[in-house]
Structure 1
């Protein structure tokens, strides 16, 4: 005899089974998400990511590497120029001025990121940074790098690895958040570069000596009495193949206090084209204002707006040409310590 309650009991069992299966599947998805999020390259440094990968299974590693390749950007974007702007968490005004001035010339063939280390930030700063990211979506946040002058080389290296994994491009401009760029002119100059690879372009110095005190104190420099020739960090260009070389060898590279010095060392053994260009005003203080300058370092929000407004109203960046210190042409035919003599006031 069939019991009248049997169908109801069976339905309950089926419902319970589906409930348990749903819970298991939900837990699986949550666990997978948490595993990926804990090694998201935008929130961990290179060493930490590497250590976490080493403790994963082969299948997990493959899954994560595929995730890294497509993280945040989906399929790798294809652009002509990538711009990395190293910035401090507190410098919202500088970032916003850049967005409102020279980045307005950014076309679809250009992609920019403001790079910020967020480890140890206060809750207030974190809220502010996340709000800025939601609004502009142009921050590259490195969660396991504490933002300070001491970590600039680490910030740069992590950024280059990320860009190498996620963007297809031809050239990369690294600059600071107090740098003004004539972006339209830069694009024109880049398209005239006769080399497809091995381009390291900026304002070079080969006679700088390592500092032993102060903010630039260098404790790890053992190579020679001078820094190796390097393009000054207010702004320089490197081609995609050099970014790939640095990214692929990131775990071997020594980090020095100054990121531009580090780049000079990382690229020193490579056969490449070092292009010294006086149109890069990228030293520790600006040489003045000249309309030939493509990249101008050490700018304030006011001077950036002035340059932008001048370009909009008169087509030139500088109303008056100003030279506050002389420039030089790099002599590649002598030893680096003899490279750079400021003896010609006609050089911008």
Structure 2
């Protein structure tokens, strides 16, 4: 009996010890688990990466609710804030019919040079038209040195004492008015971005025929609403502008100011709380305070035009050109017989419709 009990005990143990292993099964299970985990991680990363990228691209916004928005504080109307200007410049020696001020970033020498080689070259301008490039300051020492050298060579830079960043565009434009009203007395000012083509002959002829001292004209924008999306470069917090809609204004890509209204806008800007979108601030908010209504001109747009020479030949300006595109278009505009070819074109170029804002 004892021997039988031992034999049964051994039988209970032996199957455990002698049961064949299944390494292939275990390996397959582990591989499947690993694959599931890896897939889960990949899905999570794919879903999270756009969120990370979006957070990284939130535009810098320097005008928080605690920041002083007294425009006069930054413009310093009683101080000389001009750091660079053309040699020998004086108020008495600067009385053009049309002063073109190109708002340019310090680093963007290629854009300035493309303008100097095309529509803004002195040889291509009427005698009573002057062009200047407006810049601010930068902490980059190399750019500062380059800017000084550029000024010595081209003698067409105006540098004002403010930090030249996108959020300071309103300061840049008011600084422009400060310099113009104190150092230059043009009949008209064209403020233009650096990625523009400007048809100076057509603009010059229009202002000679129909201009007036209180003129504010460009691409008119009606009933625009402030953008509350903080990811937009045009973000407009309620504490800066509380109304539902902006007053009518002209696009900051390019607009014309008469000498009289330019001086009045400058004085009004100094006593108006700063708003960071410069075209809205100056040609909308400040103009509205003055009771001056900006007008639309079909030769101005704020969108990119078709790269067709007949269109460029017929309008006042075109937006969003790279330096190479500007040079290429300029060469096409100089081709003989362009006027006749455009007159015979089918279909001929038709301007956009005139915009009128309801009161």
TM-score, normalization: structure 2?
A: 0.68
Q: How large is the RMSD of aligned CA atoms in angstroms?
A: 3.1
Partner residue in 2 for 1:169:
186
Indicate how the Cα distance of structure 1 residues 50 and 303 shifts in structure 2: closer, same or farther if over 3 A, else same. closer
In our comparison, the structure showing a higher alpha carbon Rg is 2
Partner residue in 2 for 1:262:
281
- Secondary structure of 2:179's partner? helix
Partner residue in 1 for 2:220:
204
- Secondary structure of 1:204's partner? strand
Instruction: Output aligned runs, 1:2-151, within 5 Å.
Output: 47=73, 50=76, 73-76=89-92, 77-104=94-121, 105-118=124-137, 120-143=138-161, 145-151=162-168
1:245 aligns with 2:264: yes
Deviation of 1:275 after TM superposition, in Å, equals 2.5
RCO greater where, 1 or 2, for CA within 8 Å and sep 6 or more?
Answer: 2
- Secondary structure of 1:101's partner? coil
Q: CA-to-partner distance for each residue in 1:42-66, whole Å, 9 max, x for gaps?
A: xxx963674986xxxxxxxxxx79x
Q: CA-to-partner distance for each residue in 1:214-255, whole Å, 9 max, x for gaps?
A: 221123443521221111111110100111102233420232
- Secondary structure of 1:234's partner? strand
Partner residue in 2 for 1:329:
354
Gaps of 5+ in 1: 1-44, 54-63, 336-348
The answer to whether the Cα contact below 8 Å between 1:210 and 1:221 also exists between their aligned partners in 2 is: no
1:191 aligns with 2:219: no
1:278 aligns with 2:298: yes
The answer to whether the Cα contact below 8 Å between 2:75 and 2:171 also exists between their aligned partners in 1 is: no
The answer to whether the Cα contact below 8 Å between 1:94 and 1:301 also exists between their aligned partners in 2 is: yes
The answer to whether the Cα contact below 8 Å between 1:86 and 1:115 also exists between their aligned partners in 2 is: yes
- Secondary structure of 2:275's partner? coil
Indicate how the Cα distance of structure 1 residues 223 and 200 shifts in structure 2: closer, same or farther if over 3 A, else same. farther
The answer to whether the Cα contact below 8 Å between 1:217 and 1:257 also exists between their aligned partners in 2 is: no
Q: CA-to-partner distance for each residue in 1:76-114, whole Å, 9 max, x for gaps?
A: 311100111111111100000000000122233112211
Partner residue in 1 for 2:21:
none
Q: CA-to-partner distance for each residue in 1:166-208, whole Å, 9 max, x for gaps?
A: 1111110011000100111110111111x53211111101122
Indicate how the Cα distance of structure 1 residues 286 and 258 shifts in structure 2: closer, same or farther if over 3 A, else same. farther
Indicate how the Cα distance of structure 1 residues 137 and 321 shifts in structure 2: closer, same or farther if over 3 A, else same. farther
Deviation of 1:303 after TM superposition, in Å, equals 2.0
> How many residues are paired up?
271
- Secondary structure of 1:268's partner? helix
1:297 aligns with 2:319: yes
Gaps of 5+ in 2: 1-70
Indicate how the Cα distance of structure 1 residues 87 and 223 shifts in structure 2: closer, same or farther if over 3 A, else same. same
The answer to whether the Cα contact below 8 Å between 1:281 and 1:287 also exists between their aligned partners in 2 is: no
Deviation of 1:331 after TM superposition, in Å, equals 3.0
Indicate how the Cα distance of structure 1 residues 135 and 246 shifts in structure 2: closer, same or farther if over 3 A, else same. same
TM-score, normalization: structure 1?
A: 0.70
Indicate how the Cα distance of structure 1 residues 228 and 309 shifts in structure 2: closer, same or farther if over 3 A, else same. same
1:312 aligns with 2:334: yes
Counterpart-to-counterpart distance in 2, 1:331 and 1:75: 37
Indicate how the Cα distance of structure 1 residues 286 and 148 shifts in structure 2: closer, same or farther if over 3 A, else same. farther
The answer to whether the Cα contact below 8 Å between 2:98 and 2:188 also exists between their aligned partners in 1 is: yes
- Secondary structure of 1:115's partner? strand
